[in-house]
Amino acid sequence: MNRSDAEPDGVSLDQIVDVLCQIRDRQEMGQFLQEILTPAELHDLALRWELMRRLAQGDAQRQIAGEMGVSLCKITRGAKILKKEDSITHTILFGKKTV
């Protein structure tokens, strides 16, 4: 995604991050996401997180693609992110950096 896709009409990613960081309550976060995202966007977000979780568990990419009905491109992108030990996603899913 290029910068202009992430920042329509001058709304910066920083502003969105600031709003998300302000929400501390789990129910409020869920409600906020439901308010600003369409059901399809929520589904895509949940799907992306599930494939990342399954990659972290060691499931095979082709197995994930077949069972979840997602492209290998999305799965490959997720796998590349998880290989980066300094990625936030890696730290969240593995709990710590590996050596």
Is 30 in the same domain as 52?
Answer: no
CA distances 76 to 42, 45, 55, Å, are 21, 16, 10
pLDDT digits (tens, 9 = 90+) for 27-44: 999 999 999 999 999 999
Is 53 in the same domain as 77?
Answer: yes
pTM over 0.85: no
For the record, the structure tokens of 42 come out as 């929520």
Q: Is the pLDDT of residue 51 over 90?
A: yes
Is 72 in the same domain as 96?
Answer: yes
pLDDT digits (tens, 9 = 90+) for 78-96: 999 999 999 999 999 998 7
Domain hosting 2: range is 1-36
Average the pLDDT over 20-25 and give the result. 97
Is 61 in the same domain as 80?
Answer: yes
Is 94 in the same domain as 67?
Answer: yes
